[in-house]
């Protein structure tokens, strides 16, 4: 079958001719971790826990993310399917739409929120750096439409963008840390911090911040030319690069006592660099989210074109970003977000323990419409995550991971042969 224009393999496995090296996949994932919310998280942790304890929390937390990410990525790298086609095996040919659209909905709202934050930050930087007084709303719209335009071209555009943006962002972050150190010295990093965070709590924040991103890793890993190298790429991106990014970001924050990295860079006399960091980091993270939204919509509706889904939903999200009311969606998304990581636990268990890594595209249409075991496990995972948020039942101190573990355990139990026969109505 020839590749459909703008399809981006939303309905079938990635063809061998379009697969890429693991290095390119690593850059894409790294680009998604270099984002403004991540900068803020690293600053808050380092100021609250102290610089050196925060490094330990970055390293341990990122190892947990990397190991989980390797398993999630392995499903995509071996099956060559998107996250949303993978969900069909565990939820059924109709049931998977509920899970796919939930992921798409959460990412849709986050896209709008980050565009709104981008508009506000860009307005402040332009005003402080050059005296330009531009509308926050228009900057949000401009940024959002540029991101929509990039995402329409699919994986290839994201890949090429990452190859340019990631090295430049890395250099600018390193330069910001270097400037801060040359002005204040290493002695400023030795303070105990505010004492508001322990290593355990800091580690939980690191894990929780990216746990939702683990779910959609198959969307990129499916393009791997060599599955084994793709798994190494995922580990290097999350287990090696991510803690380094967080540490480099923390340096100027601890030395200045300021949580906003962009304002710190402005105070260090690198306002142009701050603007580049804001633009590139927002684009790289938001494009990845919108890409997954397009895949979820296109995979859920056979007549929906990938590029048209991107254009339609991206434009609506951009329009929504004009209003500050998008900030009110954060509690709502956090509520929904508890149930997204549990999907990862379900499809990992389905791939390795139920289907024994046998995800052939030929079987997709022969699957049942619904698999009750997946929905029960999903509900159980959400319940465990909710109990963790309320601190009624705590497994790992990270609600997203508690949700993932709870859903995985229930799914494996319900997928045992006796219970599978029971669900199928067999004696």
Q: Which CATH number do you get for residue 246? A: 1.10.4160.10
At residue 312, does pLDDT exceed 90? yes
What mean pLDDT is predicted for residues 122-134? Answer: 83
CA distances from 317 to 23, 33, 108, 109, 279 (A): 31, 21, 6, 7, 18
pLDDT at 349: 95
The one-character DSSP state at 1 is -
In a domain, 6, yes or no: no
Cβ proximity of 298 and 309 under 8 Å: yes
DSSP-derived letter for residue 424 is T
* Cα-trace Rg, the chain: 21
Residue 156 CB partners (closer than 8 Å, separation 6+):
none
How confident is the model over 23-40, as pLDDT tens digits? 999 999 999 999 888 888
The vertex-66 CA angle with 354 and 212, nearest 5°, equals: 75
Q: Which domain holds residue 209?
A: 19-327
Contact assessment for residue 370 and residue 91, using Cβ atoms and an 8 Å cutoff = yes
Instruction: Retrieve residue 53's tokens.
Output: 């304890």
pLDDT for 43 beyond 70: yes
Residue 422 pLDDT: 58
Q: What is the mean pLDDT of residues 258-279?
A: 87
Q: Examine residue 172 and state whether it is found in any structural domain, yes or no.
A: yes
What tens digit of pLDDT does each residue of 176-220 get?
999 999 988 888 888 777 777 888 888 888 988 888 889 999 999
Interval 86-98 mean pLDDT:
94
419 pLDDT higher than 80: no
- Which phi and psi angles does 102 have, rounded to 5°? -65, -45
Mean per-residue pLDDT over the chain, rounded: 88
The residue among 131 and 355 whose pLDDT is bigger is: 355
Q: How confident is the model at residue 427 (pLDDT cuts 50, 70, 90)?
A: very low
Do the domain assignments include residue 340? no
Q: So what's the pLDDT on residue 408? A: 95
Q: Which of 318, 224, 416, 115 has its CA nearest to residue 233?
A: 224
Let me know if residue 418 belongs to a domain.
no
Q: Would you say residue 334 lies in a domain?
A: no
195: number of Cβ within 10 Å: 9
Q: Categorize the per-residue pLDDT at 364 as very low, low, confident or very high, splitting at 50, 70 and 90.
A: confident
Query: With bands split at pLDDT 50, 70 and 90, how would you rate the model's confidence at 111?
Result: very high
53-62, 245-254, 389-398, 406-415: segment of lowest average pLDDT: 389-398
Q: What percentage of the chain reaches a pLDDT higher than 70?
A: 94
Q: What is the per-residue pLDDT for 1?
A: 38
Cβ neighbour number for residue 338 with a 10 Å cutoff: 23
Question: Does pLDDT of 48 surpass 70?
Answer: yes
Q: How many domains does the chain have?
A: 1
Considering the domain boundaries, does residue 416 fall inside one?
no
* Structural domain contains residue 426: no
Q: Greater confidence, 71 or 258?
A: 71
**Could you tell me the CA-to-CA distances from 158 to 39, 43, 367 in Å, in that order?**
21, 27, 32
pLDDT at residue 331 is higher than 80: no
Alpha carbons 26 and 225: distance in angstroms, whole number = 13
pLDDT of residue 366 exceeding 60: yes
Give the range among 58-67, 79-88, 356-365 with minimum mean pLDDT.
Answer: 356-365
Q: What is the mean pLDDT of residues 290-313?
A: 91
Q: Is the pLDDT confidence value at 326 over 90?
A: no
**Percent over 90 (pLDDT), the chain:** 56
The closest alpha carbon to 53, from 180, 192, 196, belongs to 192
Q: Give per-residue pLDDT as tens, 229-264.
A: 999 999 999 999 999 999 999 999 999 888 888 888
pLDDT score of 211? 84
pLDDT at 394 over 90: no
Reading the block at residue 18, the tokens are 């379009």
Which has more confidence, 373 or 304?
373
pTM of the model: 0.90
Q: Which residue shows structure tokens 């710190």?
A: 264
Q: How far apart are CA 392 and CA 218, in angstroms?
A: 33
Closest CA to 65 of 241, 251, 285: 241
For residue 132, tell me if it sits in a domain: yes
**pLDDT top residue among 366 and 234:** 234
């Amino acid at each position: 079958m020839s590749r459909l224009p703008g399809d981006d393999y939303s309905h079938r496995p990635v063809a061998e001719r379009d697969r890429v090296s693991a290095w390119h996949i690593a850059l894409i994932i790294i680009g998604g971790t270099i984002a403004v919310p991540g900068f803020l998280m690293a600053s808050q942790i380092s100021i609250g826990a102290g610089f050196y304890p925060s490094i330990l929390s970055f390293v341990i937390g990122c190892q947990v993310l990397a190991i989980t990410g390797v398993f999630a990525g392995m499903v995509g790298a071996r099956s060559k399917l998107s996250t949303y086609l993978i969900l069909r095996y565990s939820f059924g040919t109709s049931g998977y739409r509920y899970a796919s659209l939930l992921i798409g909905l959460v990412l849709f709202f986050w896209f709008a929120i980050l565009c709104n934050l981008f508009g506000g930050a860009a307005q402040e930087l332009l005003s402080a750096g050059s005296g330009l007084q531009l509308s926050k709303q228009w900057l949000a719209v401009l940024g959002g439409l540029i991101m929509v335009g990039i995402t329409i071209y699919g994986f290839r555009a994201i890949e090429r963008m990452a190859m340019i943006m990631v090295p430049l962002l890395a250099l600018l972050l390193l330069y910001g840390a270097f400037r801060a150190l040359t002005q204040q010295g290493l002695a400023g990093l030795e303070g105990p911090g505010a004492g508001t965070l322990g290593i355990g709590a800091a580690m939980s924040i690191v894990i929780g911040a990216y746990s939702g991103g683990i779910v959609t890793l198959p969307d990129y890993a499916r393009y791997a030319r060599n599955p084994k190298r793709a798994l190494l790429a995922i580990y290097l991106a999350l287990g090696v690069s991510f803690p380094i990014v967080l540490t480099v970001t923390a340096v100027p924050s601890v030395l200045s006592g300021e949580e906003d990295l962009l304002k710190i860079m402005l105070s260090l006399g690198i306002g142009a660099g701050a603007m580049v960091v804001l633009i590139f980091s927002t684009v790289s993270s938001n494009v990845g989210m919108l890409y997954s939204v397009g895949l979820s919509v296109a995979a859920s509706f056979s007549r929906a074109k990938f590029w048209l889904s991107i254009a339609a939903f991206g434009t609506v999200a951009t329009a929504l970003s004009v209003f500050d009311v998008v900030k009110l969606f954060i509690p709502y998304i956090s509520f929904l977000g508890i149930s997204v990581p549990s999907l990862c636990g379900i499809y990992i268990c389905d791939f390795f323990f139920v289907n024994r890594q046998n995800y052939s595209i030929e079987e997709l249409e022969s699957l049942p419409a619904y698999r009750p075991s997946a929905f029960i496990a999903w509900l159980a995972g959400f319940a465990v995550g909710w109990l963790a948020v309320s601190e009624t039942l705590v497994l790992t101190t990270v609600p997203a991971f508690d949700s993932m573990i709870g859903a995985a355990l229930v799914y494996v139990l319900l997928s045992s042969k006796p219970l599978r026969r029971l669900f199928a109505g067999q004696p």
